[in-house]
Structure 1
Amino acid sequence: MRRHELSDEEWAIIQPLLPQKSRGVPRVDDRRVINGILWRFRTGAPWRDVPERYGPRTTLYNRFVRWRAAGVWDRLLDAVSAAYDGDIVMIDSSCVRVHQHGAAGQKGGPEVGGDRCMGRSRGGLTTKIHALVDAEGRPVKIALTAGQAGDAPAAEQMLPLVAPGATLIADRAYDTNAIRAACADRKAWANIPPRVIRKDSFAFSAWVYRQRNLVKRFFNRIKQFRGLATRYDKSPDNFLAALKLVAIRIWLATI
């Protein structure tokens, strides 16, 4: 087995979760195709440069996009993350640069807009990855926004996944009344350091806050994939699907 390919143990877990029915000609071997997709995002190479041992590049790309549209990657992530208990969760974000190939519009010029999750920030044209992870740094929810977007609004969309009685760990960027109120409504504890401008005081544990490094480790792990450390995909849906595929690998490593 080559580096970064699915092990026998990983394949045994996800094989029963893949679509079992195919119309017409039988599908090309699923394991080989997924390994080729992983190779592409691990190296950041164009689809046309994927080695022939993984099959035709059109098969790899079409399978990746078709399964994304059919929700296969979402279902896989939901299935392998079912072990999530939610006692402690952490939320954070990280920006990635958008490559010129990913930013180009149909006429070859840069195209920026919220619908494409690209925006101008101090790092140039970027996309921001938002992640909610559990106490072992395993991703529970991933979302994308433009690079200049604030962290708190995206976090509010993830709060329904915070279990009642859980502890939410986040940095000062998430110190908003809306987030604290949402946690209180769910009887969860927002262990967030208050901003300097705060006049109210809140319960905060520096010892518990130290665990926040786990969400940083998650971002470090996904950025080992060059196709994720830099965004080459024009479609935000494809880029998000690739993030979910790597998130599935992270979960498989702990099952």
Structure 2
Amino acid sequence: MSRGDLTDTQWERLELLLPPIPKMGRPPRDRRQVFDGIWWRARTGSPWRDVPERYGPWETAYTVFRRWQIDGTWPRILKKLQVKADADGIIEWEVSVDSTVCRAHQHAAGARKRGLTMPGRTRSDGLAAEPDNHGLGRSRGGLTTKIHLAVDASFHVLAAVITAGQRGDAPVFEQVMDKIRIPRPGGGRPRTRPDHVLADRAYSSRQIRAYLRRRQIPHTIPEKRDQAGHRLRRGSAGGRPPGFDRETYKRRHKVECRIGLLKQARGVATRYDKLAVRYEATVQLTLIRQAL
């Protein structure tokens, strides 16, 4: 076993969740070996062709990674781990929302744009479709991608959304919240509503506060200085200031810590995948590996 590979205990947790290796015209390989090879690439950020021989042919690792991305295997495994954590009472439903920008390597650019669906749409099978901009944005720092996260108080990532790096946080907030969907082991409706939401000033908007009130979700979001000044200038017509508990807000640091842990995988901290759906699968793989 090499550094970063699954331990026997971790493999016992994962083995029952993994589907069989897809048939590729050659004898099937050991799933543990293939998974370790896929994770080695995500952990190091190396090209697929550099996957060590001890994990088998690199073509097998890439093909399995791609096929499991296409058929939705990665999000299904992650969802099963979330369901188990919730059933065990590990998930704490105080949710912090934030985003992080990841630099995109020059190898991530250049994918074809013809024939791709528009952003926000899904395929007929319900899986995410590739956005027309491949989740890449150009700014003064070059090509970037942004990961929007919803993290609970026990550091479980309940939702992740990939956008171009220049996208604002507030416009994606509802999309992130709508992705929080944890099925219940005994059946019934999945749990979608947190007990409390924490977010920084980037999410201070009337639309977001109205959305949370409509869903009856308590929240702690500081008011922007310009919003506070505008409200005060209007006098009584400006309304009351939004409630804010400074001590509760301090617990928002957990999403920052979780972002740091997620970006320990170099394949996440720097985007090398050309397609946004592949990069999203790399993020999901990292979350799976870190949850074991």
Aligned AA (1:137): F
Q: Are the counterparts in 2 of residues 114 and 146 from structure 1 also a CA contact under 8 Å?
A: no
Q: Indicate the SS of the match to 1:9.
A: helix
Aligned AA (2:207): A
Q: Are the counterparts in 1 of residues 96 and 252 from structure 2 also a CA contact under 8 Å?
A: yes
Distance 1:22 1:197 in 2: 56
1:138 to 143, 156, 180: 156
Aligned AA (1:89): V
Distance 1:46 1:165 in 2: 39
* Shift, 1:17, TM fit: 1.3
Could you tell me which residue of structure 2 aligns to residue 99 of structure 1? 105
* Closer/same/farther in 2, CA of residues 97 and 234 from structure 1, 3 Å limit: same
* Shift, 1:87, TM fit: 2.3
Could you tell me which residue of structure 1 aligns to residue 236 of structure 2? none
1:239-254 equivalent positions in 2, closer than 5 A: 239-252=279-292
Instruction: Indicate yes or no: 2:105 matched with 1:76.
Output: no
Distance 2:269 2:211 in 1: 32
Q: Are the counterparts in 2 of residues 87 and 163 from structure 1 also a CA contact under 8 Å?
A: no
* Shift, 1:218, TM fit: 1.3
Cα deviation digits, residues 85-110 of structure 1 (max 9, x gap): 4520011000011111111346xxxx
Aligned AA (1:101): H
Could you tell me which residue of structure 2 aligns to residue 37 of structure 1? 38
Q: Are the counterparts in 2 of residues 118 and 146 from structure 1 also a CA contact under 8 Å?
A: yes
Q: Are the counterparts in 2 of residues 159 and 182 from structure 1 also a CA contact under 8 Å?
A: no
* Shift, 1:241, TM fit: 0.3
Q: Are the counterparts in 2 of residues 90 and 134 from structure 1 also a CA contact under 8 Å?
A: yes
Could you tell me which residue of structure 2 aligns to residue 48 of structure 1? 49
Q: Are the counterparts in 2 of residues 165 and 187 from structure 1 also a CA contact under 8 Å?
A: no
1:1-255 equivalent positions in 2, closer than 5 A: 1-20=1-20, 26-82=27-83, 83-84=85-86, 85=91, 87-105=93-111, 115-160=133-178, 161=180, 163-164=192-193, 166-198=195-227, 199=231, 200-252=240-292
* Shift, 1:208, TM fit: 1.2
Distance 1:145 1:217 in 2: 21
Question: Which protein has the larger Cα radius of gyration, Structure 1 or Structure 2?
Answer: 2
Distance 2:21 2:3 in 1: 30
Aligned AA (1:37): I
Per mean C-alpha deviation after superposition, the further-off stretch among 17-26 and 183-192 is 17-26
Q: Are the counterparts in 2 of residues 114 and 145 from structure 1 also a CA contact under 8 Å?
A: no
Unaligned runs of at least 5 residues, structure 1: 107-112
| TM-score in terms of structure 2 length | 0.79
* Closer/same/farther in 2, CA of residues 98 and 165 from structure 1, 3 Å limit: closer
* Shift, 1:122, TM fit: 3.4
Q: Are the counterparts in 2 of residues 165 and 186 from structure 1 also a CA contact under 8 Å?
A: no
Cα deviation digits, residues 56-115 of structure 1 (max 9, x gap): 000000000001111110110000011244520011000011111111346xxxxxx853
Q: Are the counterparts in 1 of residues 21 and 28 from structure 2 also a CA contact under 8 Å?
A: no
Q: Indicate the SS of the match to 1:115.
A: coil
Distance 2:222 2:106 in 1: 37
Alignment RMSD (CA, Å): 2.0
Q: Are the counterparts in 2 of residues 77 and 247 from structure 1 also a CA contact under 8 Å?
A: yes
Distance 2:54 2:163 in 1: 35
Q: Indicate the SS of the match to 1:127.
A: strand
Q: Percent identity?
A: 42
